[in-house]
Amino acid sequence: MAVAVKTSGGFCNAQQQWLHSTRDLFLYGYSHSNAKECKSKKTKRPASLRVKATSTKVELDFNDPSWKQKFQEDWDNRFNLPRITDIYDLKPRPTTFSLTKQRTPTGDEDSTPKDMWNGYVSNDDRALMKVIKYSSPTSAGAECIDPDCSWVEQWVHRAGPRKDIYYEPNEVKAAIVTCGGLCPGLNDVIRQVVFTLETYGVKNIVGIPFGFRGFYEKGLKEMPLSRNLVENINLAGGSFLGVSRGGPKTSEIVDSIQARRIDMLFVLGGNGTHAGANAIHDECRKRKLKVSVVAVPKTIDNDIPLMDKTFGFDTAVEEAQRAINSAYIEARSAYHGIGLVKLMGRSSGFIAMHASLSSGQVDVCLIPEVPFALDGEYGVLQHLEQLIKNTGFCVVCVAEAAGQELLQNSGATDASGNAILSDIGVHMQQKIKTHFKGIGVHADIKYIDPTYMVRACRANASDAILCTVLGQNAVHGAFAGFSGITSCICNTHYVYLPVTQVITAPKRVNHKGRMWHRCLTSTGQPDFR
């Protein structure tokens, strides 16, 4: 859901600068420098902030003692999970997802009376999304709603199996589709979705081949799926179903869903896929179809907002640090060796930052969120010169989206409409060569671009567990009658979020947050500007 923020008179001069987007408001709060300015003008502050959502219109005036309550009402409204009962008058039935294989507690383990224990999640259960109480907007990484950084509880819906379900399992046709680029863990999620559907009693499970294209391209047949068939697919990387970018229009996808009589659609993908899932959900509602569309956030880039991480990210970081390790060994073994590694991340530097942190071998980490100069007194090249002089070798890790403003851009896009980036790695390699040649100092540059190697691999242990839980919860969400939701992890708890809330903008590294500062402490790099 798009949320427009309007400001009115005299709130703070810096207001336009710090409310870059609604995402800034809800995810990052005030920027430090501007927040200081706001603080200093506190007494003059009329503090009227209008938060206008497409389905709600909330006026927030921080001088109004009930502003928190208004914020929370708006929050609850935005995070309310869409359900098929919003458009259908349906009676639930008791779930067929049995927990009885587990030994029923005797009652000795805890104080729950034996006959009241059921192991299901209530629709009223919530998880707290934010747990830090920032004392002021100037605290590192502060995410504040009002200028005083007051504590406001932000609850989201807990994921898991419900006691009541809204589908007859033996009548359900469920489909799974994997979209976008590859990501470690896709097969783990497919496998768990199939296992869990079968546990409910679903017999008709199909895979849509090659992303959204599988709904449309002639010759691409849906693939019947079963526990037997998917039992071992998690042992390999990639997607058992295949992936793709681009594809048919939403209306064509929904025509196909209707023609195939699909009741539940599990959509695995990144931010583009989530936008697609949301459009499919909306179109199904418009046509009054009883279809649950449930997404599972997949992307090595970790750029989907509000959640702790997306599956595949941990594995990509682990693979990426192998490349850094090789660059380190090459650089250290060469006379005046410079190891340069370019890592993926379409619009954010999470992989580069985390791989730099985890390897501990990086002297300079460059990400798109933090602009830098290559040339000049404070530029990267000057710093490399110093490192070579002092240590004899160094390692640079650059995110693929970093420094795009230094390069010529073709303006080209891929089939999904994503911008095709210019190659910062090759550019830096050339610049470093030219620089050292120019100053007459020998430098041996070893450039490593692991590209697809960081994602065309099997999920590591932590991703495999995440995939297992997210896949199972996706099925529980569909049976509970939710649609237009995503199954994710927030603040270490497994939750459902409305897809509308995670497609506002890509999540980016907070350059004022602790993680980036930890990375700077680790590399020891200065500001390059």
Ligand X SMILES: Nc1ncnc2c1ncn2[C@@H]1O[C@H](COP(=O)(O)OP(=O)(O)OP(=O)(O)O)[C@@H](O)[C@H]1O
Ligand Y SMILES: O=P(O)(O)OC[C@H]1O[C@](O)(CO)[C@@H](O)[C@@H]1O
Q: Which residues bind ligand X (CB under 6 A)?
A: 179-181, 211-212, 245-247, 269-273, 275-276, 279, 299, 301, 416, 418
Please tell me whether residue 270 binds Mg ion under the rule CB under 5 A: yes
Residue with Cβ nearer ligand Y (251 or 413)? 413
Residue 414 binding ligand Y, by CB under 6 A: yes
Residue 129 among known ligand-binding residues: no
Question: Closer to ligand X at the Cβ: 167 or 210?
Answer: 210
* Structural contact between residues 464 and 234, judged by C-beta atoms closer than 8 angstroms: yes
Smallest distance from ligand X to CB 279, Å: 5
Helices (H), 342-457: 350-359, 380-391, 424-438
d(CA 23, CA 34): 17
272 lies in the site for Mg ion, by CB under 5 A: yes
C-beta of 382 vs 418, nearer to ligand X: 418
Is the CB of 275 or the CB of 366 nearer to ligand X?
Answer: 275
Name the active-site residue from 74, 188, 282, 301. Answer: 301
Structure tokens at 424: 């910062």
Could you tell me which stretch among 108-116, 296-304, 370-378, 472-480 binds ligand Y (CB under 6 A)? 296-304
Choose, by CB under 6 A, the member of 160, 169, 181, 207 that binds ligand Y: 181
Is 362 marked as binding a ligand?
no
Neighbours of 498 (CB within 10 A): 22
Which position's Cβ is nearest Mg ion? Answer: 270
C-beta of 25 vs 399, nearer to ligand Y: 399
360 annotated binding-site participant? no
119 is in an annotated binding site: no
Rounded to the nearest 10°, the torsion over CA 18, 23, 27, 33 is -10
Residue 349 is labelled as binding a ligand: no
Which is closer to ligand X, CB of 38 or CB of 275? 275
Q: Cα separation of 143 and 164, whole Å?
A: 37
Q: Is residue 271 involved in binding Mg ion (CB under 5 A)?
A: yes
Residue type, 180: G
**DSSP secondary-structure letter at 211?**
G
Q: How far is the CB of 507 from ligand X (least distance, A)?
A: 12
Q: Which of 309, 427, 455, 476 binds ligand Y (CB under 6 A)?
A: 455
Residue 353 annotated as part of some ligand binding site: no
Does position 449 bind ligand Y by CB under 6 A? no
The count of chain residues that interact with ligand Y, using the rule CB under 6 A, is 12
Q: Which string of DSSP letters, residue by residue, matches 87-135? A: TS----EE-----TTSPPP-SSSSSS-GGG---PPPTT-EEES-----S
Reply yes or no on whether 301 is catalytic. yes
Q: Which residues contact 1 (CB under 8 A, 6 or more apart)?
A: 53, 54, 55, 78, 498, 500, 501
Provide, rounded to whole angstroms, the least separation between the CB of residue 400 and ligand Y. 6
Least gap, CB of 304 to Mg ion (angstroms): 9
Contact 2, 21 (CB under 8 A): no
Nearest to 427 by CA among 408, 451, 444, 454: 408
Kindly report the backbone phi and psi dihedral angles of residue 27, in degrees, each rounded to the nearest multiple of 5, phi listed first. -100, -40
- Least distance (Å) between residue 283 CB and ligand Y: 25
Question: Per residue in 484-495, is it b (16+ CB within 10 Å) or e — as a string?
Answer: bbbbbbbbebbb
Amino acid at the residue 527:
D
- What SS3 class is residue 177? strand
What is the distance between the alpha carbons of residues 356 and 64, in angstroms, rounded to a whole number?
46
The reply on whether position 82 binds ligand Y by CB under 6 A is no
CB 373 → ligand Y: shortest distance, Å? 24
Residues of the binding site for ATP: 181, 245-246, 270-273
Residues of the binding site for Mg(2+): 271
Active site residues: 301
Residues of the binding site for substrate: 299-301, 344-346, 400, 452-455
Binding site for ligand Y (CB under 6 A): 181, 245, 270, 299-301, 344-346, 400, 414, 455
